[in-house]
Amino acid sequence: MSLRSAALSGGRATYVGQGIKLLLQLVSVAVLARLLTPEDFGIAAMAAVVGGVTGVIATAGIPQALVQTGSLTQARLSRAFWFSALVGAAASALVFLGASTLASLMGESALLVAFRFLSVGYFCSAIAAVFVAKLTRDLSFRRIVLAESLAHAGAILAAVWGALEGLGFWALILQQLVQPLLLVALAGPLSGWRPSSPFRRADISDLLSFGVGSLGAQLVTYLGSAAPVFFLSRAASTYEVGIYNRAQTVTQLPVQQIGPPITRVAFPILSQLRTTQSYIPYLLHGTAAVAYSLGTAMVLISAMSTHVVAVYLGSDWSDASPIVAILGLGLIAQAVGTSQSWVFSSLGMTGVQFRYALLSRAIAVTVVAATAASGGVIVAAATAGGMLLHYLIMSFVAMRRLELDARPLHLLQVRVLLIMFATWPIVHMCAGIAYRLGGDWIALAGGSVAFSLSLAALVGASRTVREDMRGVVSLMRDSLAGPRRARSQ
């Protein structure tokens, strides 16, 4: 199968898989919000902060290095696997032994036992990441979708069962533990690969070098996203942490379900195209697809936050509405900047990415820490401002350090930003009018129609926007058409 055929087939598989995961996630968030309290979500969110940091460290950036490298033998892959397993085991042991200290740091004694249970999952995540990287490198996207969808479904079922049994926040801890356990159990056999002896020597110094830069960038990015929950946990009640966490979940849902599948297909393809003239065109098509799709989702969620929260989470979560609105605005900037990481990683410039990401995230985290005592809404504003700052620094400062003509990419990103921010007040106003006519569901329909008509008007009036849309539609159509259509082209 050609590279183009693999990309298109992978796109189809990831769209289907993410559709399944999105449906599962939508149902689970809505159900769990009605079975558990904000305090339960607040405690579980504190555990997730530590879990996320540990998970990033445990992989040591090796999975990204395995996908990006040009040469990968059985010996090198095996050596990388055992290295990842060692780092994962060390990270898990540190969490297990330091559970008491971590619980004190988060200000919640109930987390002591939870951290010890979750430490097993961190080790499994490190191993599973290598199997998934092998599948990604082989462009076996259907198998990745199968493993991740089943693991996701199993974890959700475990959480719902726990909530129905009255386990409280432990239902959410169970969800965090079950997913990596199922993923490693599924991804290993599906990869069709087994590691050689851990004592077999092979040079993986280039993988470690790349991994350090990738790990640094991922860690800085995650710490930036986790900082609000961490600092709120130190300055506010578990109720307020839970409200912020659910608002963050609502806004992050499209990011988690739309961005990763496009990235999973785009990154390995761009890594193989990095020395060809096809690199920029493919980058622009991928950027347009992720920026318009994610940007649209963020405008709709943010501009209609009151109605989204009422329908999705229920009336008990109304305090989350302003936080959803503010975070959604910041995520528009994050959406258009999604492809920045593709560029740095595919060109092997993760060191540059790390340095500038560290600068932008450090500023954002400092502001969040300073505003945590003011409550979730102010923290959300600081977080959204940090997202915009990160986009500006990475696009117009960091990318200047690359030997790449990024002007077409910048023009596309700015164009999408302007379109999304211009349509936001239209959607908000029309949703408000529709609400007075028939309630929250009518408001959601009215706002969605208003956005569609606004975008259609822009497509009709602007040749450049029409070209953007043609690229997005062509990419989506080819991806859904699958390998048969690709081969015929």
Using the 8-state DSSP alphabet, how is residue 316 labeled?
G
* 397 token code pair: 């400062």
**d(C-alpha 377, C-alpha 485), whole Å:** 49
The residue length of the chain stands at 489
- Mean residue pLDDT of the chain comes to 83
Mean pLDDT of 229-250: 87
Which amino acid is residue 406, in one-letter code? A
Q: Which DSSP helix (H) or strand (E) runs through 218? A: helix 205-235
**d(C-alpha 223, C-alpha 470), whole Å:** 37
Q: How confident is the model at residue 485 (pLDDT cuts 50, 70, 90)?
A: very low
> What pLDDT is recorded for position 13?
64
3-state secondary structure of 405: coil
Q: Judging by beta carbons within 10 Å of its beta carbon (0-12, 13-18, 19+), is residue 47 exposed, middle or buried?
A: buried
Q: Which of 320, 319, 389, 396 is nearest to 358 (CA)?
A: 389
Of all residues in the chain, the percent with pLDDT exceeding 70 is 91
Write 358-363 long-range contacts (CB < 8 A, 24+): 358/216, 358/220, 359/393, 360/224, 360/386, 360/389, 360/390, 360/393, 360/394, 361/220, 361/221, 361/223, 361/224, 361/386, 361/390, 363/389
Which of 189-203, 236-250, 471-485 is predicted most confidently? 236-250
pLDDT at 9 over 70: no
Radius of gyration of the chain (CA): 22
Do 459 and 465 touch, CB atoms closer than 8 A? yes
Q: Which residue has the higher pLDDT, 301 or 141?
A: 301
Angle value at C-alpha 49, between 47 and 52, nearest 5 degrees = 105
